[in-house]
Amino acid sequence: MQVTTQTGLEPVSVHYLLPEKRTTHRNNVQLPPTIKHDNAFISYDRLRAAHQIVYPPRKEFVIPEFSKDSDCFDVVEGLRKVGGVIIRGALTPTQVCQIEKDLRPHIEADLPWTAGNDFFPPTTRRAFGLCAKSPTAATDIIGNELYQAVCEEFLTTKSYPWYGDRNTLNVSPPQVNNTIAFSVRPGDSFDQPLHRDDDIHYADRPRVDVYPRTNSREYGVGFFVAGTKTTKANGATRFIPGSHLEATEQPSDEAFARYAELNMGDGFIMLSSCYHGGSANTTENEERLLFSCFMTRGWLRQEENQYLAVPPEIARKLPVRVQKILGYDVSEPMLGWVDFKDPRAAIDPEAGKRVAHKSDDRDNEIKSN
C-alpha cells in the first residue's frame, strides 16, 4: 500500500513494506507503525518530527583551492567530493576594476529589497543582466574558460534516441541561468538563510555517499568572483561543504557552514545543490563586492530571462561563444528555434541560413559507452 503526503510543495510517498515497518521513498528511514497518513497536507517540519527522522551525521570537509591554470579534471574532482572550490587569482586586478567600473552606476541605481522577507538586507545593492552592462564580465566571468569547462562536465546533457533505424546523438550544452553583482554594505545587515539555488528547478535528489560519475545530479553551477577582499566580517558567502551529497529534504545546519574567504579576483565555484547564503556585513566601513553567474542545463527554463536582459541589439556585439552561452542557440534536437531556424538569426543573418536540427555528422553516431 502507498499513500502520499504533501510536504510544503513536494509530495512524499510512504510505502508499507511490512505491517510493522515502512520507509520513506528516498532514504529508507524507518517510520513508526502507529503513524497513519490519509492524503494529509502537513508541513515537512511536522512530518519529520512525527517520524523522528534522524539524518546521517555530516562530515567535515576542507574546501579545496586551485589556481586559474589548474586542470579542469582536478577542479571537477574537488567539486564532486566537496561541492565547492576556491580558484585563486581567477581574474586579474585590471579585469576586476573594469567590471566594477562598468557595473558601479547600475549598482548605485538599485533600490532596497522590499519583497517583505529576509533574503536581502535593505543596505544591499545589486546589478543584473551583467552581459548587457559589462563586456568584460561577459567574456571573463560568464565566458571564463575554466568555469565553462567545469559547467560542460556537470551540465551537458546527452541522449541517444532512435529515429527509424538510426541510433542518433543529441547534445544539449549548458546555458546561463542568472548573472548578478552584489554590493553588501555595513548597517542593517543579517545572514541570508542557507538555501540551495536548484530549488527553482524543483530538484529532488536522494542521499549518496559518493558523487555519481555520470555527473547527472546537478541543475546548476555557480561562479562567484570577489570584487573586493571578502572576509567573514564583511559578509563572505557561507557554504556547507558536502551538502551536495545529501537528500533534497535534509535541512541545513549552520554549525557546519564555512566561509568562502577570497582576495580580490579570487573565484568560488559551487554546485547549486549545496547549501549556502550571504552573510552579515559586521564591519564599520567595508563593502563586499561580488560578481556572480550561474549556469544551468540547456533544456531548463532560465531564472533570469536572458533574451530580455541581453536583447538582440546588445547580444550581437558579444562573441559568438558568449551568445550561445546566453541561449542564442538550439539545444538539440529542437529546442529554441525561431521560424524553424537557428535563433542566432536574430543577431547574425548568416545563422538564419541553417535549419534548426542536429547536425548531419551526428545522425549515425552510436552510443559508445
> pLDDT of 97-135, one tens digit each?
999 999 999 999 998 877 766 778 788 999 999 999 999
Mean pLDDT of 215-231: 96
Per-residue pLDDT, 356 = 60
Mean pLDDT (whole number) for 203-213? 92
Give, rounded to a whole angstrom, the gap between the first and last alpha carbons of the chain.
Answer: 38
Dihedral sign from CA coordinates of 193, 198, 203, 209: negative
Helices 145-155, 72-82: axis angle to 10 degrees equals 50
Nearest to 330 by CA among 171, 199, 210, 189: 171
Beta strands in the chain (DSSP E): 2-7, 10-18, 21-24, 41-42, 65-67, 84-88, 125-128, 157-159, 162-163, 166-167, 170-172, 175-184, 220-226, 238-239, 258-259, 267-271, 276-277, 288-296
Mean predicted confidence (pLDDT) in 267-296: 96
**For residues 99 and 78, is the Cβ–Cβ distance under 8 A?**
no
Q: What is the pLDDT of residues 66-101, one digit of tens each?
A: 999 999 999 999 999 999 999 999 999 999 999 999
Of 194, 247, 198, nearest in space to 218 by CA: 198
- Give yes or no for residue 315 having a pLDDT over 70: yes
At 144 the pLDDT is: 98
CATH of domain 65-317: 2.60.120.620
Helix (H, G, I), strand (E, B) or coil at 74: helix
Determine contact, residues 75/150, Cβ cutoff 8 Å.
Answer: yes
Chain mean pLDDT for the chain: 84
Sheet holding 2-7, edge to edge: 21-24, 10-18, 2-7, 41-42
Q: List all residues 6 or more positions away from 198 whose beta carbon is below 8 Å from its beta carbon.
A: 218, 219, 220, 272, 273
Residue of 290 and 349 predicted with greater confidence: 290
Angle, alpha carbons 202-207-210 (nearest 5°): 120
Give all strands (DSSP E) within 205-347, no chain letters.
Answer: 220-226, 238-239, 258-259, 267-271, 276-277, 288-296
* DSSP helix/strand/coil, 215: coil
| Peptide bond just before 311 cis, omega within 30 deg | no
Lowest mean pLDDT segment, chosen from 180-194, 244-258, 353-367 = 353-367
The grid coordinates of residue 64 equal 579545496
Asked if 130 and 289 touch (Cβ cutoff 8 Å), the reply is no
pLDDT for position 277: 95
Taken in order 101, 289, 260, 173, the sign of the CA dihedral is negative
Look at 4-8, 158-162, 186-190 and tell me which has the smallest mean pLDDT: 4-8
Q: Is the pLDDT of residue 53 over 60?
A: no
Whether residue 52 is predicted with pLDDT greater than 80 in this model: the reply is no
Q: Is the pLDDT of residue 365 over 60?
A: no
- Amino acid identity of 162? W
Instruction: Tell me the pLDDT band of 290, cut-offs 50, 70 and 90.
Output: very high
On the question of pLDDT at 169 being above 60, the answer is yes
pLDDT at 114: 76
Task: Give the integer Cα–Cα distance in Å for 36 and 322.
Answer: 53
Q: Where are the domains of the chain?
A: 2-51, 65-317, 329-359
Confidence of residue 11 (pLDDT cuts 50, 70, 90): very low
> 32 versus 51: which is more confidently predicted?
51
For residue 5, is pLDDT > 60? no
Cell output for 338:
525561431
The yes-or-no verdict on residue 308 having pLDDT over 50 is: yes
